[in-house]
Amino acid sequence: MGFKCGIVGLPNVGKSTLFNALTKTAAAQAANYPFCTIEPNTGEVAVPDPRLTKIAQSAKSAQIIPTRLTFVDIAGLVRGASKGEGLGNQFLANIREVDAIAHVLRCFEDGDITHVEGRVDPVADAETVETELMLSDLESLERRVVPLRKRAQGGDKEAREQVEIMDLALEALRDGRPARTVAVPQGAEDAFRQLNLLTSKPVLYVCNVEEASAAKGNRHSEAVFAMAARQGAKAVVISAAIEAEVAQLSDEEQTEFLETLGLEEPGLDRLIRAGYDLLGLITYFTAGPKEARAWTITRGTKAPQAAGVIHSDFERGFIRAHTIGYDDFVTLGEVKAKEAGKARDEGKEYVVQDGDVLHFKFNA
């Protein structure tokens, strides 16, 4: 479905190191977790999900195909980007194309790596980027709203509705708040989304810490988590330096290396899952002798639209979805789950749940 998470941040915060670790990890796992480089700064990574392996074992599937998330390494931002400073215009254009933002913040001290602002203050860094995005949104809306106001005053109902939505966003931005804080009226969600505002996108703060703080974080990451809590955003702790090392190791070496650092899993796994959750995504599965496969949908998707993720014909000709819950599928297996009455046929109004194992019936 092409869900994209853009990696942003000021220069020298570890953004590119993190992206390179993501791509190297995915490439190293290509046998089981497909990876492809779409462009030099774009890569698809598998979403870690141990449920898929268990489903494959239960179904005796020959192949495992995970669901994927696209990460985009976006050009570093500098103060004044909203006015075109640095690579500002390219930066802002790239952000418009992603569904969510993974904002990498420098949470480590290192005199050998110069900070663009001359200090280590991740909260201030976040505010710098957020301010540039808000200024860009404000300029965009103020330019677009003028002709709409004239049409609205002339009795154009559609223009009047658009102006009402724009005014909500303008009020927030002029008050120094990002567009994602706006309480959008019920039924106006699509109209608000079509404004395509940079600050309406959900944000995940990625605290890039030194190796010694990878397990528990440090005072800088604590400040970021507090900021994220105030905003209703999410944050994760990761050490880009560690991830770059892990990406070069075999699975066995990775486990041993991470254990010496007090880590249960690579930080990239947490980052990928957090990005997935940030986008409001869930996973359903299909399984058989040929393959066990994970599919990505947004939370709240109904069965016909979930079927359409596989192929548009499945949605057009949808009849029903043969459904078994994950726990029942891996505990009993498909045949015994049916015998135990744990399998059910769901119709067009069924809202697919995370972990459902589905088999779609449709008219070709």
Complete DSSP assignment for 306-363: HHHHH-HHHHHTEEEEEEE-HHHHHHHHHHHHHHTT-EEEE-TTPBPPTT-EEEEEE-
22 lies in the same domain as 75: yes
Report the Cα–Cα distance between both ends of the chain, in Å, rounded: 22
| pLDDT (tens digit per residue) in 193-241 | 999 999 999 999 999 999 999 989 999 999 999 999 988 788 999 998 8
Give the strand pairing for 234-238 and 37-39: unpaired
Question: Mean pLDDT in the chain?
Answer: 86
312 lies in the same domain as 260: no
Task: Let me know if residue 286 belongs to a domain.
Answer: no
83 lies in the same domain as 207: yes
Q: Average pLDDT for residues 319-348, to the nearest whole number?
A: 95
145 known ligand binder: no
Strands (E), the chain: 4-8, 37-39, 42-46, 63-65, 68-73, 100-106, 203-208, 234-238, 281-287, 291-298, 318-324, 343-346, 357-362
Question: How crowded is the C-beta side of 183, counted as CA atoms within 13 Å?
Answer: 0
Residue finishing a domain among 220, 245, 278: 278
Q: Six-digit token pair at 197? A: 């505002």
- pLDDT > 70? residue 86: no
82 known ligand binder: no
pLDDT classification of 37: cutoffs 50, 70, 90: very low
Residue finishing a domain among 278, 309, 335: 278
Please list the residues that pair with 65 across neighbouring strands.
293
Domain that holds residue 357: 300-362
* pLDDT at site 81: 47
Task: Let me know if residue 139 belongs to a domain.
Answer: yes
Contact 246, 266 (CB under 8 A): yes
Task: Let me know if residue 61 belongs to a domain.
Answer: no
If one counts the domains in the chain, the total is: 3
Q: Average pLDDT for residues 157-184, to the nearest whole number?
A: 92
| pLDDT (tens digit per residue) in 6-35 | 888 887 788 888 888 877 655 444 333 333
241 lies in the same domain as 351: no
Q: Six-digit token pair at 277? A: 């959750």
209 lies in the same domain as 85: yes
98 lies in the same domain as 8: yes
42 known ligand binder: no
308 lies in the same domain as 358: yes
Residue written as tokens 């200090």? 119
Look up the pTM and report it. Answer: 0.81
- pLDDT > 90? residue 92: no
206 lies in the same domain as 191: no
Task: Let me know if residue 237 belongs to a domain.
Answer: yes
Give dist(CA 84, CA 91) in Å, integer. Answer: 9
269 lies in the same domain as 207: yes
196 known ligand binder: no
Task: Let me know if residue 292 belongs to a domain.
Answer: no
| pLDDT (tens digit per residue) in 228-275 | 998 878 899 999 889 888 888 887 888 889 888 888 888 888 888 888
Q: What is the CATH number of the domain that holds 339?
A: 3.10.20.30
105 backbone dihedrals φ, ψ, rounded to 5°: -120, 135
Contact 137, 101 (CB under 8 A): no
93 lies in the same domain as 119: yes
12 lies in the same domain as 80: yes
Give dist(CA 203, CA 6) in Å, integer. Answer: 10
232 lies in the same domain as 267: yes
348 known ligand binder: no
Give dist(CA 347, CA 318) in Å, integer. Answer: 9
Q: What is the CATH number of the domain that holds 166?
A: 1.10.150.300
Task: Let me know if residue 58 belongs to a domain.
Answer: no
15 known ligand binder: yes
Task: Let me know if residue 60 belongs to a domain.
Answer: no
Q: What is the CATH number of the domain that holds 233?
A: 3.40.50.300
Task: Let me know if residue 23 belongs to a domain.
Answer: yes
Residue finishing a domain among 171, 197, 223: 197
100, 81, 79: which is closest to 90 by C-alpha? 81
